[in-house]
Amino acid sequence: MGINELLKSVHPFSVLNAKELEKLLSESRVVEFREGESVMRIGDIQRHLYLIYDGSVRVMSDGDENASIKTLKRGDIFGEMSLLTGEPSIYKIIALNECRIIRISEKILSFIIGENEKFLNPVNDVLSSLFRERHDDTRLLTALSLNNDPYDLAFTSTDDSIKILVINTGSSSLKYSLFDTSKNITLFTGLIENIGSAESVHKTDTREGKEERHLKIDGIGEALSEMVSFIKESPVSGIGDISEISAVGHRVVHGGEKFSGSVVLTDDVITSVKECSELAPLHNPYNLAGIEEMRRLLPSALHVAVFDTAFHQSMPERAFKYAIPGELYEKQQIRRYGFHGSNHKFVCLRASMFLKRPLHSMKLISCHLGNGVSLCAIERGGSVDTSMGMTPLEGLVMGTRSGDIDPGIVFHLMRTLNMSPDDVDKILNKKSGLLGVSGKSNDMRELFKSALEGDIGSKSAINIFCYRVRKYIGSYMAVLGDADALIFTAGIGENSSEVRARICNGLESFGIHMDHRANRNARPQKGEVIDISKSDSKIRILVIPADEERMIARETLHAARMAGAGHRTAGSIPFVVQPSHVHLSRSDFTTLFGNNDAGKLPVAGLQTAFKERVRLIGPGGEIDEVAVSGSFRDKTQVEVSSTDEFRLGIMAPLRDAGDLEGTPGLTIEGSKGAVKIKRGVIRVRKHIHISVKEALMRGLKDRDIVTVRTENDKNSILGDILVKVWSDSVSAIHIDKDEALALNIKRGDTGDIESIRSRLYM
């Protein structure tokens, strides 16, 4: 039986017409397995639907050979859940004999589902019932911990060889790297310096060794042409024609508030990047020149912008706003943005892999100590504060930048020494920091050498540098309340055990205990992580080499995949405006009201509510008459709007419902008693409830983060909305009272999903 005949005999493929079948097969592949070979491992991220062509496989739940769940044979399908969740497999599948399996790409299936209702309905039936008995999170997390590359830093998610070029263009330099996703190595890196002078130099580092060419390169266009010729000539690249490069990742310094993730560069995106240039006039124009030139040189490649600022867009307002007149933020966009985002994100993914703990359960402090220096407080995989601000000048002591100073110094210099803004700019950016204090060098290695020879300026520079990092670690301990790991990365952080020791010395009362021998011996290679803490240190101290190029290549791959994910708009979804309310556990309900839970009322914004109301008592105030949701939860949870949060005098984090780890508590009073909860107060993250069928139709997955356009007079875009797929829910966008007020959203208003911003396991 041919593949066509097989598909025609298998439900639900049998409903497809000849053209649809042909399309399906054009994006499918037949993969052969030998007896005993692994078809799918526990923890593998699913991106295909599998149909057995011939032979049979065994589905097993764990390492126990006897733990066979079922045997599948010709015509059987597996991997269906991936269509809806993209989650890691919690089963392993082994070939029982020689077999051939048809692997159908998720993209083509999703396309056909969106086009053909006859196909959608049976798929929906199967998935809805699977979804009802969905496994719990702990099993998924265990599965994920068995995956050696859960964040795709080694590109294991692709079977194909995709060549990705990573570009970083500066005012007088071009840095580039080439990756091949089928090989977990950087094929080569290159650096062209002194562009615009007669003494330009092109340094390359390939498997065949390092080379240096001296030439005259006039501008970025010439530099990129020089790079292209090198790539074509180098036998290491394996590239005969430059068009074999299918994706280019461009490092862009500033993404303003517009970009909270990496994006495929279209004309519209480029216009938006140009608008961010005002915020980074010394960087973005050069990045843009590189983008435009590369788009011309490689028109058929996908170009992606990866922003230094994007990772920090998750900072809360209290961390990103300066205490200056509000209109300077609103009109001039003066706020803290933060930089080094790609590396802070990279090291937190590496730390999660190394500690074998899910990202969302960890609090981390990342110390990027290179020529530029920044610290980042990371909670649940996102930046909550960082030391660099509107520009990379704020924060710590750097090679040549001052970091934090009293802004009054600027006016003092202008008044007393008659300096111009440019003079002061030059002093603080180019002549300060390690160089300024030591009067000798901006290189930590040089400074240690001369300090040990008795140079006072060098000693002073090192001391100020380390003291300032320590001070910031202390303040980020206060920001996070606690930390699981302290990470050292970048030139100084990776290489200087002396600096690491000086920083950590005196932090023992925080639970930071360094193993000094491990610290001295730590020489991590790219891709490695070294733990330099004592075994009883509460906080792990990790050394993680930066690999910005790899991170940009990974982001490029994922942004390209997201762009191809093909979300479809399928009509409006109503908003539901939720007032502050509590979900009680049954025992807390009994304490508060006795056993009387008979009466329920409809309450605007809540599906049902008990007729009883509670009073919330926080450290700073009280709120009366708060609704009690009509269903019980395992743990009591209080969902407050931001106005009510303020009234209670509490800092409630923005969380998904049920995610209560590390949240504050308060006292709840009912008619018969009171309970004091230690944790459970959250501001609930905006979310959309959507049915399996609608998710299939729209090409969405459970836990996607999307943006929504409001369909009212304001027509605004809401970002960061979590998609929750349920087997049979009524579609609705849940937002809190304050957000609704700010956006002028009233009962009955609707919104439409505009784009998918991020996807789990992508």
The reply on whether position 636 binds ligand AMP by CB under 6 A is: no
Which residue number has the CB closest to ligand AMP? 491
The reply on whether position 173 binds ligand AMP by CB under 6 A is: no
> CB of residue 399 vs ligand AMP: minimum separation in angstroms?
5
The reply on whether position 750 binds ligand AMP by CB under 6 A is: no
Active-site choice (44, 152, 180, 308): 308
How far is the C-alpha of 336 from the C-alpha of 334, rounded, in Å?
7
By CB under 6 A, the residues from 399 to 418 that bind ligand AMP are 399
> CB of residue 169 vs ligand AMP: minimum separation in angstroms?
17
Q: From residue 507, give the alpha-carbon distance in Å to each of 51, 93, 471, 755.
A: 57, 48, 10, 45
Contacting ligand AMP (CB under 6 A), which of 309, 374, 438, 495? 495
- Respond yes or no: is residue 515 known to be catalytic: no
Contacting ligand AMP (CB under 6 A), which of 49, 228, 365, 490? 490
> CB of residue 612 vs ligand AMP: minimum separation in angstroms?
59
User: For residue 411, which of 401, 398, 396, 421 has the smallest C-alpha distance?
Assistant: 421
> CB of residue 500 vs ligand AMP: minimum separation in angstroms?
10
Q: Sort residue 76 into left (φ over 0), alpha (ψ -120 to 50) or beta.
A: beta
How far is the C-alpha of 464 from the C-alpha of 729, rounded, in Å?
58
The reply on whether position 640 binds ligand AMP by CB under 6 A is: no
CA dihedral in degrees (223, 226, 230, 231; nearest 10)?
Answer: 60
Contact 698, 568 (CB under 8 A): yes
Contacting ligand AMP (CB under 6 A), which of 290, 392, 491, 664? 491
The reply on whether position 496 binds ligand AMP by CB under 6 A is: yes
| Three-class SS state of 680 | coil
How far is the C-alpha of 122 from the C-alpha of 102, rounded, in Å?
20
DSSP-assigned states of every residue in 155-202: -TT-SS--EEEEEEE-SS-EEEEEEETTSSSEEEEEEEESTTSTTEEE
How far is the C-alpha of 760 from the C-alpha of 596, rounded, in Å?
42
Stretch of residues binding ligand AMP (CB under 6 A), selected from 271-279, 485-493, 673-681, 723-731: 485-493
Q: From residue 343, give the alpha-carbon distance in Å to each of 129, 369, 374, 551.
A: 41, 11, 10, 7
Nearer to ligand AMP, 82 or 177 (CB): 177
> CB of residue 619 vs ligand AMP: minimum separation in angstroms?
43
The reply on whether position 653 binds ligand AMP by CB under 6 A is: no
Nearer to ligand AMP, 514 or 666 (CB): 514
Stretch of residues binding ligand AMP (CB under 6 A), selected from 1-9, 226-234, 462-470, 492-500: 492-500
Upper half-sphere CA count for residue 266 (Cβ side, 13 Å): 5
Nearer to ligand AMP, 57 or 546 (CB): 546
Binding-residue total with ligand AMP (CB under 6 A): 12
How far is the C-alpha of 72 from the C-alpha of 33, rounded, in Å?
14
The reply on whether position 543 binds ligand AMP by CB under 6 A is: no
DSSP H or E segment with residue 723: strand 717-726
Contact 375, 344 (CB under 8 A): no
How far is the C-alpha of 557 from the C-alpha of 249, rounded, in Å?
9
> CB of residue 475 vs ligand AMP: minimum separation in angstroms?
23
> CB of residue 372 vs ligand AMP: minimum separation in angstroms?
6
> CB of residue 498 vs ligand AMP: minimum separation in angstroms?
7
Nearer to ligand AMP, 313 or 386 (CB): 386
By CB under 6 A, the residues from 419 to 478 that bind ligand AMP are 442-445
Alpha helices in 660-708 (DSSP H): 692-698
> CB of residue 442 vs ligand AMP: minimum separation in angstroms?
6
Residue 403: CB atoms within 10 Å: 22
Contacting ligand AMP (CB under 6 A), which of 492, 551, 627, 695? 492
Looking up tokens 């011309």 gives 296
The reply on whether position 376 binds ligand AMP by CB under 6 A is: no
Nearer to ligand AMP, 120 or 492 (CB): 492
Contacting ligand AMP (CB under 6 A), which of 256, 338, 370, 579? 370
Q: From residue 391, give the alpha-carbon distance in Å to each of 64, 272, 432, 437, 681.
A: 55, 19, 16, 21, 35
By CB under 6 A, the residues from 103 to 142 that bind ligand AMP are none
User: What residues does 601 pair with on adjacent strands?
Assistant: 609
The reply on whether position 232 binds ligand AMP by CB under 6 A is: no
Residue 407: CB atoms within 10 Å: 8
Contacting ligand AMP (CB under 6 A), which of 371, 572, 643, 727? 371
Nearer to ligand AMP, 445 or 586 (CB): 445
Active site residues: 308
Contact residues toward ligand AMP (CB under 6 A) are 370-371, 399, 442-445, 490-492, 495-496
